[in-house]
Amino acid sequence: MTKYRKELWFKTKTRRQFINITGQVEQCLAESGIKDGLCLVNAMHITASVFINDDEPGLHQDFEAWLEKLAPEKPYSQYKHNGSGDNADAHLKRSVMGREVVVAVTDGKFDFGPWEQIFYGEFDGKRKKRVLVKIIGE
Amino acid sequence: MTKYRKELWFKTKTRRQFINITGQVEQCLAESGIKDGLCLVNAMHITASVFINDDEPGLHQDFEAWLEKLAPEKPYSQYKHNGSGDNADAHLKRSVMGREVVVAVTDGKFDFGPWEQIFYGEFDGKRKKRVLVKIIGE
Amino acid sequence: MTKYRKELWFKTKTRRQFINITGQVEQCLAESGIKDGLCLVNAMHITASVFINDDEPGLHQDFEAWLEKLAPEKPYSQYKHNGSGDNADAHLKRSVMGREVVVAVTDGKFDFGPWEQIFYGEFDGKRKKRVLVKIIGE
């Protein structure tokens, strides 16, 4: 079994942002030399997500509006997290979008469907946060 | 390490449908010969899900009604995805239900609880779409 | 490849409860002797979740209130699951929070970010239910 591990760092300029990290994770796979196996990509922070969807700006606006409807940021007083905290909504939004994806590796490539792209979903940004890439296989 | 890969194809007659694919995925496991490991089952399309839940028609009606409440299909004008696109709701519904499941393989069988069944959740159907089954182990 | 499997049992006193199971899963990892690989932790029941988030009581109250808003327990008559059943909401809540987590194992430890803790999320409790821990690696 061969294994590979890398942390990717992100600091967004806005509180919420979606970043296409497919290229960076593909570079990890190339570095690993693994031809067949499973790749785990997960947010290391509990107010962020890693998810797979379409790289289309209109859809990302839809995600933003929809998540704000399901779990609004404000008023902060509606939430009990950390008393006077201001990021409870980020924990809820991340729960909808998910912490992690597991992607199959076949013939040295991610075994993706036609539109699958990996995104980092930031819901409480403007500070340095990490994504873990872990690959096992041979 | 032994590995196995197969694509399962589906074309639903309706826009939204839940299909129990447990038997097909169990056949993949039998073909693989793998006795112990992990099995990834994921939708290869970003408007569909693979999830584990109960095979009970009343519950599936509840899922349909609930997902329509959380992310209504119409009016299409409420969404920005692809300008005049009509399937933004399918991307949102799939985000709630999830892209993938990872199932443990023990003694040549899926290590399931009493009611666990694997479903393909289609949210934008009436065309051919794929599910990936990837198993690693020994 | 080394593999490890264990079931953890839970019986909550209330219908809904979040239990921090990080210590128990870390004990599984120690027992396994696995230094590098992947650990799957999944609810074996379809009205419960395993998820990763923060161990903060205020946040758990926020999760409870939020999930009740998204998928209210009552009135039971709003759901079709099992005709006169009373736990459809538990299936929906579990779908939001997820069935499973996959955690990287590196140097014999879970490769966690600073606040990541593993929780069992019970949505239809007061009876014995199980979580599966499956680890593969070397």
**CB contact (8 A) between residue C96 and residue A98:** no
Query: What are the chain A neighbours of C138 within 8 Å (beta carbons)?
Result: 1
Distance of CA C100 to the CA centre of its chain: 7
Report pTM. 0.98
Using the predicted structure, report yes or no on whether residue C134 has a pLDDT greater than 80: yes
Of C44, C91, C99, the CB nearest to B101: C99
Taking the Cβ of residue B10 and every Cβ of chain A, the question of whether any pair is shorter than 8 Å is answered with no
Residues C40-66, mean pLDDT to the nearest whole number: 98
Using the predicted structure, report yes or no on whether residue C113 has a pLDDT greater than 90: yes
- CB within 8 Å of A108: residues ≥ 6 apart: A29, A30, A34, A35
Task: Choose among C33, C29, C55: nearest CA to C41.
Answer: C29
Residues A15-20, mean pLDDT to the nearest whole number: 98
- CA–CA dist B101, B103 (Å, integer): 6
**CB contact (8 A) between residue B54 and residue C38:** no
Query: What are the chain A neighbours of C112 within 8 Å (beta carbons)?
Result: 44
pLDDT computed for residue C83 by the predictor? 84
Task: Choose among A13, A96, A8, A15: nearest CA to A51.
Answer: A96
Taking the Cβ of residue A36 and every Cβ of chain B, the question of whether any pair is shorter than 8 Å is answered with yes
Taking the Cβ of residue B18 and every Cβ of chain C, the question of whether any pair is shorter than 8 Å is answered with no
Q: How confident is the model at residue C42 (pLDDT cuts 50, 70, 90)?
A: very high
In chain A, what percentage of residues exceed pLDDT 70?
100
Whether A131 and A15 have beta carbons less than 8 Å apart is answered as no
Compare all CA atoms of chain A with the CA of B129 and give the residue at the minimum distance: A113
Of A3, A96, A100, the CB nearest to C101: A100
Mutate to test the interface with A, among C18, C36, C60 (most CBs of A within 10 A): C36
- Counted across chains A and B, CB pairs separated by less than 8 A come out at 90
Using the predicted structure, report yes or no on whether residue B109 has a pLDDT greater than 80: yes
Q: How confident is the model at residue B66 (pLDDT cuts 50, 70, 90)?
A: very high
Mutate to test the interface with C, among A45, A80, A103 (most CBs of C within 10 A): A80
Q: What is the pLDDT of residues C13-28, one digit of tens each?
A: 999 999 999 999 999 9
Whether B21 and B8 have beta carbons less than 8 Å apart is answered as yes
Q: How confident is the model at residue B79 (pLDDT cuts 50, 70, 90)?
A: very high
Would you state the structure tokens that stand for residue B7, as one six-digit string? 């694509």
pLDDT computed for residue A30 by the predictor? 98
Q: Nearest-CA distance from A46 to chain C in Å? A: 5
In chain B, what percentage of residues exceed pLDDT 70?
100
Q: Which chains touch B (3 or more CB pairs under 8 A)?
A: A, C
Taking the Cβ of residue A42 and every Cβ of chain C, the question of whether any pair is shorter than 8 Å is answered with yes
- CA–CA dist A87, A81 (Å, integer): 8
Query: What are the chain A neighbours of B40 within 8 Å (beta carbons)?
Result: 38, 102, 104
- CB within 8 Å of B68: residues ≥ 6 apart: none
Residues A66-70, mean pLDDT to the nearest whole number: 98
Q: What is the pLDDT of residues A80-128, one digit of tens each?
A: 998 878 999 999 999 999 999 999 999 999 999 999 999 999 999 999 9
Q: What is the pLDDT of residues B33-63, one digit of tens each?
A: 999 999 999 999 999 999 999 999 999 999 9
What are A17's strand-pairing partners?
A: A122
Residues B104-112, mean pLDDT to the nearest whole number: 98
Q: Nearest-CA distance from C63 to chain B in Å? A: 15
Give the 3-state secondary structure of A106-137. ECCEECCCCCCEEEEEECCCCCCEEEEEEEEE
Task: Choose among B50, B56, B137: nearest CA to B98.
Answer: B50
- CA–CA dist B58, B49 (Å, integer): 19
Using the predicted structure, report yes or no on whether residue B82 has a pLDDT greater than 90: no
pLDDT computed for residue B36 by the predictor? 98
Q: Nearest-CA distance from A81 to chain B in Å? A: 23
- CB within 8 Å of C76: residues ≥ 6 apart: C84, C85, C86, C88
**CB contact (8 A) between residue A38 and residue B43:** no
* pLDDT, chain C, mean: 97
pLDDT computed for residue A85 by the predictor? 85
Using the predicted structure, report yes or no on whether residue B4 has a pLDDT greater than 90: yes
Can you give the length of chain C in residues? 138
**CB contact (8 A) between residue B80 and residue A58:** yes
What are C110's strand-pairing partners?
A: C105
